[in-house]
């Protein structure tokens, strides 16, 4: 009950703070962000001390070395975190831009204007730098933000939060524009996910079980990122060397990311030629290949791909390969097993390119490029708060604009409805 009261207070405070934050100009928001960045840098000793407590607790709890590495704050990482906040301050503010507008026959003037969503709640398990990044993106777009970080990074997150928080001092904005849940108690989460009256959107960032829990519990709208099961389809007519390079890049450049290729689809007419060459290239990079029966008739030394492989996001140096009869089978495979994230075709044929982009039901569909480009920064959107596999509101990379909604402003001179 005590926790519920605490969460209720936090969410009410956020809602109240959001109303003022929504109407201040960019200059004030930018100045707060720049102060935040400076305070991260100048707090480096303090941040590392708090972080060392997390690291020690993590070692005792037996966290993997990969997890400990993700958790660690070094001087370089602290500097990067501050720079990222400065960069966000320099982005264009989406608030106030007019989306469209027109005049009705009765003389009413309508326009749709971008406004902040209101209160954004971010639940994350990731590196402590998310604390600063998410806070900066939300404040920049005029949203009050409630952060709920992972248990392992609690001290680091608290320390970063305190540095950021102080940036609201001596401004006209309430410090409740930015709040971090100051407990690791799991019972804090359900009341957050159902605070419909105060919170406008929940963005979970982390593993599938976290996201599933949020989706099942929340009554507030959720923008989520599930799997990235990305495909590359090598078509009958294509430049073989381009196909080899795109596939190598999509699989190997950073295999642990959501936009890396997990399944390679190859047109049966080029399989005999293409498969031995891509095998050579990928095996030299240490990729384990798993193939369908037809693939294994060509690459006899690789493992069989099971039904489960087509549904798996490996996030690892593993690739499943399937030979398809043509573009329709490739499209069907992607729409059946894919996760609607990023898929690519390598082709020379205009009709194939257009058919593929039209029919593949994914957030991002590439022709003759690596799926690894799906990223707010790469797209030129500036920093991203995540990549959405939702279809509602935001699809693909979510940046500042996706942290806004719109309102209809209508001006008349006494019009009434007949």
Q: Which residues bind a second copy (CB under 8 A)?
A: 19, 22-23, 102, 104, 108, 110, 115, 117-118, 196, 200-201, 215-216, 219, 221-223, 239, 242, 245-246, 248-250, 253, 335, 353, 357-359, 361-370, 372-374, 378-380, 390-393, 395-396, 405-418
Nearest distance in Å: CB 255, a second copy: 12
- Give which of 16, 353, 28, 314 is closest to 171, Cα–Cα: 28
Angle among Cα 156, 160, 163 to the nearest 5 degrees reads 145
Please name the helix (run of DSSP H) or strand (run of DSSP E) that holds residue 172, with its range, or none: none
Q: Which is nearer to a second copy, 110 or 299 (CB)?
A: 110
Nearest distance in Å: CB 357, a second copy: 5
Q: Which is nearer to a second copy, 42 or 107 (CB)?
A: 107
Nearest distance in Å: CB 141, a second copy: 13
Q: Which is nearer to a second copy, 133 or 343 (CB)?
A: 343
Q: Is 331 helix (H, G, I), strand (E, B) or coil?
A: helix
DSSP 101: E
Residue 183 phi, psi (nearest 5): -155, 150
- Give which of 257, 252, 261 is closest to 281, Cα–Cα: 252
Q: Which is nearer to a second copy, 27 or 301 (CB)?
A: 27
- Give which of 256, 299, 254 is closest to 280, Cα–Cα: 299
Q: By the 8 A CB rule, do 280 and 298 touch?
A: no
Q: Which is nearer to a second copy, 38 or 87 (CB)?
A: 87
Q: Which is nearer to a second copy, 220 or 298 (CB)?
A: 220
Nearest distance in Å: CB 304, a second copy: 26
Nearest distance in Å: CB 284, a second copy: 16
Nearest distance in Å: CB 212, a second copy: 9
CB neighbours of 323 closer than 8 A, spacing ≥ 6?
265, 266, 267, 268, 271, 292, 294, 295, 298
Q: Which is nearer to a second copy, 285 or 408 (CB)?
A: 408
Q: Which is nearer to a second copy, 43 or 396 (CB)?
A: 396
End-to-end CA distance of the chain: 52
Nearest distance in Å: CB 178, a second copy: 19
Q: Give bridge partners of residue 346 from the DSSP assignment.
A: 234
Nearest distance in Å: CB 397, a second copy: 8
Q: Give bridge partners of residue 282 from the DSSP assignment.
A: none
CA–CA gap between residue 306 and residue 296 (Å, rounded): 12
CA–CA gap between residue 23 and residue 93 (Å, rounded): 12
CA–CA gap between residue 414 and residue 352 (Å, rounded): 56
């Amino acid at each position: 009950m005590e926790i519920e009261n605490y969460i209720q207070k936090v969410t009410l405070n956020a809602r109240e703070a959001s109303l003022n934050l929504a109407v201040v100009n960019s200059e004030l928001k930018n100045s707060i962000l720049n102060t935040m960045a400076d305070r991260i840098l100048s707090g480096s000793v303090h941040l590392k001390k708090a972080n060392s407590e997390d690291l020690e607790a993590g070692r005792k709890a037996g966290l993997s070395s990969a997890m400990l590495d993700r958790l660690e704050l070094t001087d370089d990482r602290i500097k990067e975190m501050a720079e990222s906040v400065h960069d966000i301050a320099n982005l264009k503010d989406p608030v106030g831009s007019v989306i469209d507008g027109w005049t009705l026959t009765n003389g009413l003037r309508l326009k749709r204007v971008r406004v902040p969503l209101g209160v954004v709640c971010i639940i994350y398990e990731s590196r402590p730098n998310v604390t600063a990044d998410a806070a900066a993106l939300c404040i920049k777009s005029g949203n009050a933000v409630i952060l709920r970080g992972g248990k392992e990074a609690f001290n680091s997150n608290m320390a970063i939060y305190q540095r950021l928080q102080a940036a609201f001092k001596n401004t006209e904005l309430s410090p409740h524009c930015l709040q971090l849940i100051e407990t690791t108690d799991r019972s804090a989460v359900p009341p957050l996910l159902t605070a419909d009256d105060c919170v406008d959107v929940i963005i979970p960032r982390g593993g599938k079980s976290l996201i599933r829990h949020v989706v099942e519990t929340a009554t507030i709208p959720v923008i989520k990122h599930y799997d990235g099961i990305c495909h590359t389809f090598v078509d009958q007519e294509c430049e073989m060397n381009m196909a080899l390079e795109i596939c190598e890049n999509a699989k190997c450049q950073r295999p642990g990311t959501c936009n890396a290729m997990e399944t390679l689809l190859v047109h049966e007419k080029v399989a005999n030629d293409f498969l031995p060459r891509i095998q050579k290239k990928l095996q030299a990079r240490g990729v384990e290949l798993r193939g369908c029966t037809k693939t294994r008739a060509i690459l006899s030394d690789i493992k069989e791909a099971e039904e489960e492989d087509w549904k798996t996001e490996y996030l690892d140096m593993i690739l499943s390969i399937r030979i398809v009869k043509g573009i329709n089978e490739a499209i069907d495979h992607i729409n059946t097993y894919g996760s609607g994230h990023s898929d690519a075709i390598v082709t020379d044929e205009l009709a194939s390119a257009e058919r593929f982009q039209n029919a593949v039901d994914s957030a991002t569909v590439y022709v003759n490029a690596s799926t690894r480009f799906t990223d707010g920064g790469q797209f030129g959107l500036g920093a991203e708060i995540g990549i959405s596999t939702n279809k509602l509101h935001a699809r693909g990379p979510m940046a500042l604009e996706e942290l806004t909604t719109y309102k209809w402003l209508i001006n008349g001179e006494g019009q009434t409805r007949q």
